[in-house]
């Protein structure tokens, strides 16, 4: 009976997708004829050329041919095949290389039919610089180009800052920049509060400072017992010779060392360099917690919520997560997981190739490491419960928004618009996006106002330009509304004027199915008395205690914050700009030479041709060009 039902369901699905699915199958069958039987990565592309799905294969021909039998395709894969209009491949030497390339492509293209790791920002490190006579200890994020030793990763900037503060107390290394260090004439505040040994003014010898640097390296590498014993012996020695001030200093350093050890010790469990990765599933969603252990110390943890189909098992999600997680960061020697990973041996091979050393993936069944896994698992479950609760609250609010504005269904995508400028200068429009998972910051957009005909400070004209550019692009790139680029509700920060401007743009573009609401401050611009405006209806307000009102205020305030922040960025760029930037033939090197020669950009403007030609790298012809630029265009 169940087989018959499944067959009926597949027949219904086939009928539903007959034309598109037939076209997709034909595309794949045609591509299979020329595919090589070698390892590689394939990409399914839609009619717009966007990547739908990325897959890796040991044998490209055998793997891709599996998509040509519609009876064996799941509903999700059948939809993907139905949208496929072309296929792209990249061959690799090994399947391990294909796995690494697949993870890179998935993150780059953010493919809708793959398991996708979201919010994969770089992690901060502690940098102990080695390119200065007096080593500096500092926080570092990004490419590791500076000469020095990098310790990490740390789960967050807060974890790094807390560790740095304690390390300063324990080892008294400088954290100031080279320019500050070179220009000091007396000790800074950090020395006064016993967080720096003040090498800048000679309060410590080079030999003594190098000892502190060596101690810091030893501690961050896990060799802390020797340091503690040496500090304790030094404290006792100072006490015996009645040098209580020095003894107190060693005591304070010991306390700081004990504090940082207490915070970072994994409860007496011996673990070297390892990441503990545990997943937890509930309600069709997954939370993956990653705990970082380096040199026997815990350096924090972070929760991730990969995007995937509700039916994906934890093993598949965990495998995809690991491949993508280490795409832009070196893996540790050991990775501990709480579930079997698909293609474990292949993952180990790929990560070992990437790291240049052996990497193992283990599923501890007992012992201390199993305790680490259980702790990460508990954290994953708690984080997922919080997220599900927040999502439920968010969904209730969106249902309330639908009721307030008479929408047929709760909006999945709400776009909020605001403008910012000062007397019309450096004007920007801003768009923020919210949905069932909160603010979608990767979808935020800034629009620099470009129109030369716009009257400075004309908010209506700015709003028209922003919406015209936004929805013209939506029509151009997502005309059939299949890519999720269209809003279910547009909120405008403003009143009837802004609302009219928005509707005029949408009418000109032939868009009549996007609801638009303007939100104004109301009488006396009093928060809580906001008025909502819709075309053809009288303005109305919500009760002061209505949670939907607070939600809409939060959306409006986020758009306002983002618009002001974007405006300030533009203003700072303009302040830093030089009049020389627009001169033809003047790059960074010649601009620097001109400023060094004349002292300021205004002096360059006033200089004659012969004076300009005296500057190194400026020919007589270029000098004439510079002179003409300022005098003809002035």
Q: What is the mean pLDDT of residues 475-487?
A: 82
Residue 14 predicted with pLDDT over 60: no
Residue 8 pLDDT: 43
Lowest mean pLDDT among 6-10, 477-481, 577-581: 6-10
Residue that wins the pLDDT comparison between 244 and 32: 32
CATH class of 274-385: alpha beta
Q: What is the mean pLDDT of residues 419-440?
A: 85
Residue 316 pLDDT: 93
Angle at 446 between CA 441 and CA 450, to 5 degrees: 170
Residue 81 pLDDT: 94
Q: Concatenated DSSP letters for 2-71?
A: HHHHHHHHHHHHHHHTHHHHHHHHHHHHHHHTT--SS-EEEEEE-TTS-EEEEEEESSHHHHHHGGG-GG
Residue 278 pLDDT: 95
Buried b (16+ CB within 10 A) or exposed e, 58-82: eebbebbbebbebeebeeebbbbbb
Residue 527 predicted with pLDDT over 80: no
Residue 67 pLDDT: 94
pLDDT in tens, 171-224: 888 988 888 888 888 888 888 888 888 999 988 899 889 988 888 888 777 776
- pLDDT category at 442 given cuts 50, 70, 90 is confident
CATH of region 2-109: 3.40.1440.10
Q: What is the mean pLDDT of residues 72-79?
A: 89
Residue 417 pLDDT: 95
CATH of region 579-632: 1.10.150.20
Residue that wins the pLDDT comparison between 33 and 250: 33
pLDDT in tens, 591-611: 888 887 887 777 888 888 888
Half-sphere exposure of 226 (CA within 13 A, CB side): 10
Residue 289 pLDDT: 95
Yes or no: say if 490 and 471 are a contact pair by the CB < 8 Å rule. no
Residue that wins the pLDDT comparison between 485 and 25: 25
Rounded Cα distance, 575 and 433, in Å: 30
Residue 261 predicted with pLDDT over 50: yes
Tell which CATH architecture fits domain 413-574.
2-Layer Sandwich (3.30)
- pLDDT category at 12 given cuts 50, 70, 90 is very low
Neighbours of 465 (CB within 10 A): 22
Task: Tell me phi and psi for residue 540, to 5 degrees.
Answer: -145, 165
pLDDT in tens, 543-556: 888 899 999 999 99
Domains of the chain, residue spans: 2-109, 125-264, 274-385, 413-574, 579-632
Residue 152 pLDDT: 80
Lowest mean pLDDT among 38-42, 153-157, 227-231, 553-557: 227-231
- pLDDT category at 6 given cuts 50, 70, 90 is very low
Yes or no: say if 197 and 203 are a contact pair by the CB < 8 Å rule. yes
The 3-state secondary structure of 288-350 reads EEEEEEECCEEEEEEEECCECCCCCCHHHHHHHHHHHHCCCCCCCCEEEECCCCCCHHHHHHH
Rounded Cα distance, 61 and 528, in Å: 63
% residues pLDDT > 90 (the chain): 42
Matching fold, domains 274-385 and 413-574: yes
Global confidence as pTM: 0.72
- Out of 145-149, 452-456, 527-531, the most confident range is 145-149
């Amino acid at each position: 009976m169940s087989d018959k039902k499944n067959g009926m369901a597949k027949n219904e699905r086939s009928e539903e997708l007959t034309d598109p699915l037939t076209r997709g199958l034909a595309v794949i069958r045609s591509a299979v004829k020329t595919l090589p039987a070698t390892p590689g990565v394939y990409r399914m592309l839609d009619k717009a050329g966007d990547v739908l799905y990325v897959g890796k294969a040991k044998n490209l021909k055998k793997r891709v041919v599996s998509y040509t039998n519609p009876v064996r395709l799941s509903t999700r894969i059948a939809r993907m095949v139905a949208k496929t209009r072309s296929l792209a491949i990249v061959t690799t030497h090994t399947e391990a290389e294909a796995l690494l390339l697949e993870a890179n492509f998935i993150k780059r293209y953010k493919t809708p039919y793959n398991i996708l790791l979201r919010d994969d920002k770089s992690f901060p490190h502690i940098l102990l610089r080695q390119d200065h006579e007096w080593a500096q200890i500092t926080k570092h994020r990004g490419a590791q180009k500076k000469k020095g030793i990098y310790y990490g990763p740390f789960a967050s900037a807060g974890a790094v800052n807390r560790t740095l503060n304690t390390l300063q107390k324990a080892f008294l290394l400088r954290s100031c920049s080279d320019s500050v260090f070179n220009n000091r004439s007396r000790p800074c505040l950090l020395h006064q509060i016993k967080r720096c040994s003040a090498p800048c003014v000679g309060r410590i010898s080079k030999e003594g400072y190098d000892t502190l640097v060596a101690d810091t390296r030893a501690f961050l590498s896990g060799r802390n017992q020797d340091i503690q014993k040496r500090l304790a012996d030094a404290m006792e020695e100072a006490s015996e010779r009645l040098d209580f001030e020095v003894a107190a200093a060693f005591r304070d350093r010991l306390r700081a060392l004990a504090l940082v050890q207490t915070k970072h010790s994994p409860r007496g469990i011996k673990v070297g360099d390892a990441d503990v990765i545990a997943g937890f599933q509930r309600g069709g969603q997954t939370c993956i917690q990653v705990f970082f252990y380096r040199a026997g110390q815990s350096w924090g943890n972070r929760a991730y919520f990969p995007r995937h189909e509700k039916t994906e098992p934890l093993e598949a999600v965990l495998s995809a997560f690991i491949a993508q997680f280490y795409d832009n960061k070196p893996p540790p020697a050991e990775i501990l997981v709480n579930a079997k990973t698909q293609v474990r041996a292949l993952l180990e091979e790929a990560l070992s190739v990437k790291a240049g050393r052996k990497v193992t993936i283990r599923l501890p069944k007992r012992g201390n490491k199993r305790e680490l896994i259980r702790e990460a698992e508990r954290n994953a479950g708690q984080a997922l419960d919080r997220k599900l609760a927040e999502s439920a609250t968010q969904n209730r609010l969106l249902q309330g928004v639908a009721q307030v504005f008479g929408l047929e269904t709760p909006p999945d995508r709400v776009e909020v618009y605001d403008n910012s400028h000062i007397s019309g200068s450096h004007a920007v429009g801003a768009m923020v996006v919210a949905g069932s998972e909160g603010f979608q910051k990767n979808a935020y957009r800034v629009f620099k106002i470009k129109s030369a005909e716009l009257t400075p400070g004309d908010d209506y004209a700015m709003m028209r330009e922003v919406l015209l550019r936004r929805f013209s692009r939506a029509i151009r790139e997502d005309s059939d509304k299949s890519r999720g680029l269209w809003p279910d509700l547009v909120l405008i920060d403003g009143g009837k004027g802004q609302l009219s401007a928005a509707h005029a743009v949408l009418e000109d573009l032939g868009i009549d199915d996007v609801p638009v609401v303007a939100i104004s401050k109301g009488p006396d611009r009093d928060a809580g008395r906001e008025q909502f405006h819709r075309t053809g209806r009288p303005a109305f307000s919500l009760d002061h205690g209505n949670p939907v009102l607070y939600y809409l205020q939060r959306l409006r305030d986020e758009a306002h914050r983002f618009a002001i922040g974007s405006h300030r960025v533009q203003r700072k760029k303009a302040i830093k700009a030089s009049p020389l930037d627009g001169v033809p033939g003047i790059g960074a090197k010649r601009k620097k030479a001109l400023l060094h020669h004349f002292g300021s950009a205004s002096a360059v403007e006033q200089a004659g041709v012969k004076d300009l030609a005296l500057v190194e790298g400026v020919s007589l012809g270029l000098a004439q060009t510079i002179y003409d630029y300022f005098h003809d265009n002035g």
